[in-house]
């Protein structure tokens, strides 16, 4: 009888379909906001920003904005889908459809494939938690994603994929975004969020906190985009430059912006772009709002 009573109490916390839709819209808005902040941020070593294209010759800031517009319906949709507790394959198909819309909007350029995967998964996890009447927090959505879909994420890896991440995995044994997601985004939780929140405490400035977070992620992440562009040497160089910036005081030190711009110039000169770190910056900004 006690077990039945507990189940009834849990059922009483379950939201209505209308409430789930409203929640999905809110979570979708948080995801788009996080990606907008990531795109607008500068200085951002080797990455596209409102003032230049970094190490990219096939895209610019306008490309990112068109891509974001194409994804506005995807994040609420996958949040609502997550509320039904679907298998990973159902989420994957939603991501495939979203990617097709993105590529149509950008003329075939991959701007947000990582965000479609990472933030889509976290939105679905948020939907699942909300449907259960559970508390939605940064740690909770990461744990939920890993517990519900972690094994399926790893099993769904395509050994014949020609993506940059898959190529880096074959050459260097890197786990990439798939392993990070399957483990519940530990780098975002344990590196990105602490760096962001500490910098915000010290500076009171969200932009500076986001820059600090990005540098912290570059210094620690085995970024498959850096591996694909520069190999092990390029990865080590990028990590080293980011670590030097942090060791000098990061965004809390005088002259931080000039030093960050020098790192950006070095990355562009070496054709390096920490796209995996940028993806996790978007994840971190999303998690922080939760």
Joined together, the tokens standing for residue 153 give 């994420």
Q: Compute the CA torsion angle 163, 39, 154, 191 (nearest 10 deg).
A: 130
Backbone φ and ψ of 135, nearest 5° = -70, 135
Blockwise average pLDDT, block size 10, the chain, 290 residues? 39 72 96 98 97 96 97 98 96 98 97 97 98 96 98 84 68 81 98 98 97 98 94 97 98 98 98 97 97
- As a residue count, the chain comes to 290
**Distance between first and last Cα of the chain:** 36
Q: What is the pLDDT, as a whole number, of residue 12?
A: 54
> Residue ranges of the domains in the chain?
2-156+168-289
Distance CA 61, CA 123 (A): 25
Nearest to 28 by CA among 127, 117, 103: 127
Q: Compute the CA torsion angle 79, 80, 85, 86 (nearest 10 deg).
A: -90
Joined together, the tokens standing for residue 194 give 């602490």
Q: Are 91 and 49 in contact (CB under 8 A)?
A: no
User: pTM for this structure?
Assistant: 0.92
Cα-Cα-Cα-Cα dihedral sign, residues 271, 277, 281, 283? positive
Q: What is the pLDDT, as a whole number, of residue 176?
A: 83
Joined together, the tokens standing for residue 65 give 């904005």
16 secondary structure, DSSP code: P
Q: What is the pLDDT, as a whole number, of residue 5?
A: 36
Instruction: Spell out where the chain has E strands.
Output: none
Q: What is the pLDDT, as a whole number, of residue 6?
A: 41
């Amino acid at each position: 009888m006690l077990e039945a009573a507990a189940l009834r109490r849990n059922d009483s916390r379950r939201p209505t379909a209308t409430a789930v839709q409203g929640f999905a819209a809110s979570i979708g808005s948080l995801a788009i906001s996080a990606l907008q902040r990531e795109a607008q941020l500068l200085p951002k070593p080797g990455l596209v920003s409102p003032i230049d294209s970094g190490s990219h010759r096939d895209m610019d800031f306008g490309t990112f904005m068109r891509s974001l517009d194409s994804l506005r319906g995807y994040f609420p949709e996958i949040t609502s889908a997550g509320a039904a507790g679907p298998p990973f394959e159902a989420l994957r198909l939603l991501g495939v459809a979203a990617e097709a819309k993105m590529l149509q909007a950008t003329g075939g350029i991959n701007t947000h494939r990582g965000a479609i995967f990472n933030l889509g998964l976290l939105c679905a996890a948020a939907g699942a938690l909300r449907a259960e009447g559970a508390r939605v927090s940064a740690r909770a959505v990461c744990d939920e994603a890993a517990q519900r879909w972690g094994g399926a994420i790893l099993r769904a890896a395509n050994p014949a994929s020609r993506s940059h991440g898959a190529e880096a995995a074959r050459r260097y044994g890197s786990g990439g975004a798939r392993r990070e997601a399957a483990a519940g985004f530990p780098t975002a939780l344990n590196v990105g969020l602490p760096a962001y929140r500490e910098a915000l405490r010290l500076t009171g400035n969200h932009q500076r906190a986001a820059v600090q977070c990005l540098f912290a992620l570059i210094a620690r992440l085995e970024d498959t985009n850096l591996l694909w562009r520069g190999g092990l040497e390029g990865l080590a160089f990028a990590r080293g430059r980011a670590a030097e910036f942090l060791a000098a005081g990061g965004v809390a030190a005088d002259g931080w912006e000039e030093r960050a711009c020098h790192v950006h110039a070095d990355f562009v000169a070496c054709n390096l772009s920490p796209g995996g770190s940028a993806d996790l910056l978007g994840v971190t900004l999303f998690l922080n709002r939760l």
